[in-house]
C-alpha cells in the first residue's frame, strides 16, 4: 500500500459489518478521512476460530461490505496487533476506532492492542455497537450479576436506561482511496475446498440489504403470531436475524426500535424478550469467561458422560431414527440454520438420551451454523444440558416424540427434511417404530434399511439420565 500524507482514522471492522448505526464508524468519520479495515485474526482466536459455515457467511458478507464501501475496504489476515502496529508505522494514522466484542480472547487481545497503540501516540476509542446494554452495567442491587434470565431482563435491563437510538450512515463519511494493492477477500481463503456450501446460497441474502429485507419480511409475516408461532418449525414465524446480528449487518438497536414501533402486544413483547436472551448469553460470557469450556454448575463435572463414538456421527448426520431430531440435524446441514425449537430438541436428545457431553454438540453447531456465536452457542448448550445459568429446578428432558407431535402436528417439517418418511400417516410420523408392519410397508418404509432404527430407547435412556443426575445431585 502507498503512504499517505493526509492524516487518517482507521475504522476497524469486526462484528459490525454495516454502515448504518455503527458508533465507531460515525466517530471516525467525524474526525477525518476513514481507512476501513477488516482483519481475519485466526492467530489469536485459537480453538474459537470461526467454523466452516461462519467463514462462508463472512466471505459473502465482506463482499457486500466492500461493495457498500465502493471498493475501499482494506483486507488483512494475521495477528491483529502486529498488522495494526505496522499500519500506523507506515501511514499517517492519528486514531484507530472500533466497536467492542465480548469473546474473552478478543477482550484480552483488544486490551493489548489499545495499550500498544497508545504507547505509539495513537488515539484509540471503542464503542458498544452490538449489544443493547453493556454487561458491566446490569447488576443486582447488591452489585453481583444476575443468574436468572427473568430477573436479569425485567429487573435489570428494563429498569436500566433505554437502549440508544440507532444512528444513520454518517453523512460526512470520506474514505481513504488509492492505498495501493491490499489482500483480496478471496485471499482470506474463507470458502471450503469441497464446495458443500453452494447449497446454502439458496437460503440467504447477505449484507445490510439482506438483513433489512429479512427484518421487513418478519414484520409482515411472522411478528403478528410470534409468541405462539415461533414454536412450530414448519412455519415461517421466526425472524432468522441471528446471523445478521452476529456479524453486525444489523444492530440489535435497529431491530429493537423497529419491532417496538409495531405496538405493545404479547408478540412484540415476546420478541423483544428474545433479544433479551441474546443479551443474557453475552452477560453470562462476560461474567463467566469459561462458559464455552466449563460447566457453570460444577456438579456436572462428575456426570457420567458417554464416549460419543459412532452414535454421535449418526446424530450429526440426522440418522438417529428419531424423525424430529433427524429433521433438525438435516435442516442444519442443508441451510446452515436450525429452528430454535429443534435446537433444543436435538441438544436434549444428545445430552440426555445419548448422554454425550454438550461440548461435542456445541462444536458441531459451531462448525455448521451460519449464526454460530460463542456466547449464544455456549449458553444455549449449557441451558439444555442442565448445567448452565437459569436452569430449571428439575432436570429438563425433552421427549422428542411428544415434541414432534405437538410442534409439527401435520408433519410438514419432518416430511420436508426426512422425505423417506413422507408417506407415513401423521399418527406414526414422529415415532415410526410404533407403526404396524403393514403401515410401514404401505408407506415404503423399512426400518434399518430405508430409515434407521431408533438409536436409543426413549424411555430407558430418559431413566438412565435421571438416575445419573440424581447421583451427582447427592
- Which pLDDT does position 114 carry in this prediction? 98
Q: What is the mean pLDDT of the chain?
A: 95
266 in the same domain as 368: no
319 in the same domain as 364: yes
Mean pLDDT of 452-464: 97
CATH for 457: 1.10.579.10
- Which pLDDT does position 467 carry in this prediction? 95
Q: How confident is the model at residue 389 (pLDDT cuts 50, 70, 90)?
A: confident
CATH for 111: 3.40.50.620
148 in the same domain as 281: yes
In a domain, 145, yes or no: yes
Which one of 77, 102, 128 terminates a domain? 128
- Which pLDDT does position 178 carry in this prediction? 66
In a domain, 178, yes or no: no
pTM of the model: 0.96
Q: How many CB atoms are closer than 10 A to CB 400?
A: 26
In a domain, 183, yes or no: no
Q: What is the pLDDT of residues 203-253, one digit of tens each?
A: 999 999 999 999 999 999 999 999 999 999 999 899 999 999 999 999 999
Contact yes or no for 270/340 (Cβ under 8 A)? no
All three cell numbers of 78, joined, read 494475521
In a domain, 175, yes or no: no
Share of the chain above pLDDT 90, in %: 93
Using CA atoms, how far apart are residues 328 and 55, in angstroms rounded to an integer?
22
Q: Which residue has the cell 435489570?
A: 156
Sheet holding 123-127, edge to edge: 74-77, 33-40, 8-13, 93-99, 123-127
Angle value at C-alpha 373, between 368 and 375, nearest 5 degrees: 140
Mean pLDDT of 74-88: 96
269 in the same domain as 313: no
106 in the same domain as 87: yes
Contact yes or no for 33/6 (Cβ under 8 A)? yes
- Name the strand (E) or helix (H) holding 9: strand 8-13
In a domain, 180, yes or no: no
Secondary structure class of 98 (helix, strand, coil)? strand
- Residue 428's alpha-carbon distances to 243, 269, 437, 457, in angstroms, are 35, 36, 12, 16
240 in the same domain as 367: no
- Which pLDDT does position 393 carry in this prediction? 60
Using CA atoms, how far apart are residues 134 and 32, in angstroms rounded to an integer?
28
Catalytic residues: 274, 277, 305, 340, 358, 381
274 in the same domain as 365: no
**Which residue range(s) make up the domain with 328?**
298-473
All three cell numbers of 283, joined, read 452477560
Report the chain's terminal Cα–Cα distance, integer Å. Answer: 64
Mean pLDDT of 378-394: 85
What long-range pairs does 221-228 form, CB within 8 A, spacing at least 24? 223/259, 223/262, 223/267, 223/268, 223/271, 224/267, 225/267, 226/267, 226/268, 226/270, 226/271, 227/266, 227/267, 227/270
CATH for 149: 1.25.40.80
- Residue 19's alpha-carbon distances to 16, 188, 359, 373, 422, in angstroms, are 8, 22, 36, 21, 45
38-76 burial string, b = 16+ CB within 10 Å, else e?
bbbbebbbeebebbbbbbbbbbbbbebbbebbeebbbbb
Mean pLDDT of 130-135: 98
- The tally of domains found in the chain comes to 3
Angle value at C-alpha 365, between 157 and 56, nearest 5 degrees: 100
In a domain, 198, yes or no: no
Secondary structure class of 93 (helix, strand, coil)? strand
- Which pLDDT does position 371 carry in this prediction? 98
In a domain, 199, yes or no: no
Contact yes or no for 264/117 (Cβ under 8 A)? no
Amino acid at each position: 500500500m502507498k503512504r499517505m500524507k493526509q492524516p487518517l482514522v482507521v475504522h476497524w471492522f469486526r462484528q459490525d459489518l454495516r454502515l448504518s448505526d455503527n458508533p465507531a464508524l460515525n466517530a471516525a468519520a467525524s474526525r477525518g478521512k476513514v481507512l476501513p479495515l477488516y482483519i481475519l485474526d485466526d492467530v489469536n482466536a485459537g480453538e474459537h476460530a470461526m467454523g466452516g459455515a461462519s467463514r462462508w457467511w463472512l466471505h459473502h458478507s465482506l463482499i457486500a461490505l466492500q461493495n457498500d464501501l465502493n471498493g475501499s475496504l482494506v483486507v488483512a489476515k494475521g495477528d491483529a496487533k502486529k498488522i495494526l502496529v505496522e499500519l500506523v508505522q507506515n501511514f499517517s494514522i492519528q486514531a484507530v476506532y472500533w466497536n467492542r466484542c465480548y469473546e474473552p480472547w478478543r477482550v484480552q487481545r483488544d486490551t493489548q492492542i489499545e495499550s500498544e497503540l497508545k504507547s505509539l501516540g495513537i488515539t484509540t476509542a471503542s464503542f458498544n455497537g452490538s449489544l443493547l446494554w453493556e454487561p458491566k452495567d446490569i447488576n443486582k442491587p447488591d452489585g453481583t450479576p444476575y443468574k436468572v434470565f427473568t430477573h436479569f431482563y425485567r429487573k435489570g435491563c428494563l429498569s436500566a436506561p433505554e437502549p440508544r437510538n440507532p444512528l444513520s450512515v454518517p453523512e460526512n463519511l470520506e474514505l481513504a482511496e488509492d492505498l495501493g494493492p491490499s489482500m483480496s477477500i478471496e485471499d482470506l481463503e474463507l470458502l471450503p475446498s469441497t464446495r458443500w456450501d453452494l447449497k446454502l446460497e439458496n437460503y440467504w441474502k447477505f449484507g445490510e440489504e439482506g438483513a433489512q429485507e429479512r427484518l421487513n419480511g418478519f414484520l409482515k409475516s411472522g411478528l403478528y403470531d410470534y409468541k405462539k408461532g415461533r414454536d412450530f418449525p414448519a412455519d415461517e414465524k421466526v425472524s432468522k436475524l441471528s446471523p445478521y446480528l452476529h456479524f453486525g449487518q444489523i444492530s440489535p438497536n435497529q431491530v429493537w426500535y423497529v419491532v417496538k414501533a409495531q405496538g405493545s402486544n404479547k408478540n412484540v413483547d415476546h420478541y423483544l424478550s428474545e433479544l433479551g436472551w441474546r443479551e443474557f448469553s453475552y452477560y453470562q460470557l462476560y461474567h463467566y469467561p469459561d462458559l464455552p469450556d466449563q460447566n457453570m454448575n460444577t456438579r456436572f463435572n462428575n456426570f457420567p458422560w458417554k464416549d460419543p463414538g459412532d452414535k454421535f456421527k449418526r446424530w450429526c448426520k440426522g440418522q438417529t431414527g428419531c424423525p424430529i431430531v433427524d429433521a433438525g440435524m438435516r435442516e442444519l446441514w442443508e441451510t446452515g440454520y436450525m429452528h430454535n425449537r429443534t435446537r433444543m430438541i436435538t441438544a436434549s436428545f444428545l445430552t440426555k438420551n445419548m448422554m454425550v457431553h454438550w461440548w461435542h454438540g456445541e462444536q458441531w453447531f459451531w462448525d455448521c451454523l451460519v449464526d454460530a456465536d460463542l456466547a449464544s452457542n455456549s449458553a444455549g448448550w449449557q441451558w439444555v444440558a442442565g448445567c448452565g445459568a437459569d436452569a430449571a429446578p428439575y432436570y429438563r428432558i425433552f421427549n422428542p416424540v411428544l415434541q414432534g407431535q405437538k410442534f409439527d402436528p401435520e408433519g410438514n417439517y419432518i416430511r420436508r427434511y426426512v422425505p423417506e418418511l413422507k408417506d407415513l400417516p401423521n399418527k406414526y410420523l414422529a415415532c415410526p417404530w410404533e407403526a404396524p408392519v403393514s403401515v410401514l410397508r404401505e408407506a415404503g418404509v423399512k426400518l434399518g434399511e430405508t430409515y434407521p432404527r431408533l438409536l436409543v430407547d426413549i424411555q430407558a435412556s430418559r431413566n438412565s439420565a435421571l438416575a445419573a443426575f440424581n447421583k451427582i445431585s447427592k
